[in-house]
Amino acid sequence: MKIEKMYLEIINNLPDGIYFVSPDREILFWNKAAEKITGYTAEEIIGKRCQDSGLNHIDQAGRPLCMIACPLFETLVDGEQRRAKVFVRHKEGYRIPISVNILPIRKAGKLQGQLKYLPRAPRPSMRTTWWSTWPIWRCMIH
């Protein structure tokens, strides 16, 4: 097995969601855990731009991130790694609270895109702040 194929197999089978987005925010890779977390298959997501994917990322105030403060775009501009607490829309229509990690991926110093890491479950600190208000959020943004 080629080393690249082995790495791809490892990443595709991690328990946490991972996807790769090009500098123009086109989704180029979507692993199996991202499918489980969001309900969207790789076939449904790959090739779409983030804002056209159906994920409809919003922040804790319910503001659409693609319109006002996209963490992916911020990483594209400054090349810095960042974390963000967001909600994504599951394929079935409900919102999922996720703490995302966005990592710039470079080749020879040039930004090639960004890796977005979605932990498989909210972290304990998120459960106390986000999950405690989840019924309110679900009513507001469903």
Report the C-alpha gap between 21 and 116 in whole angstroms: 8
pTM of the model: 0.78
CB 98 within 8 A of CB 89: no
Q: Between β-strands 95-107 and 110-118, what pairing exists: parallel, antiparallel or unpaired? A: antiparallel
Q: What is the pLDDT of residue 81?
A: 92
Q: What is the pLDDT of residue 138?
A: 40
Q: What is the pLDDT of residue 120?
A: 62
Q: What is the pLDDT of residue 40?
A: 96
Report the C-alpha gap between 39 and 12 in whole angstroms: 16
Q: What is the pLDDT of residue 19?
A: 92
Residue 66, domain extent: 3-141
Residue-wise pLDDT tens for the chain (142 aa)? Answer: 788 899 889 999 999 999 999 988 899 999 999 999 999 999 999 999 988 888 988 888 888 888 778 888 888 889 899 998 899 999 999 998 988 899 998 888 888 888 888 876 544 444 444 444 444 344 333 3
CA angle 17, 109, 18 (to 5 degrees): 5
Q: What is the pLDDT of residue 73?
A: 85
Number of domains in the chain: 1
CATH number of the domain residue 58 falls in: 3.30.450.20
Partners of residue 86 on adjacent β-strands: 98
Q: What is the pLDDT of residue 45?
A: 96
Listed residue (33, 21, 4) closest to 115, CA to CA? 21
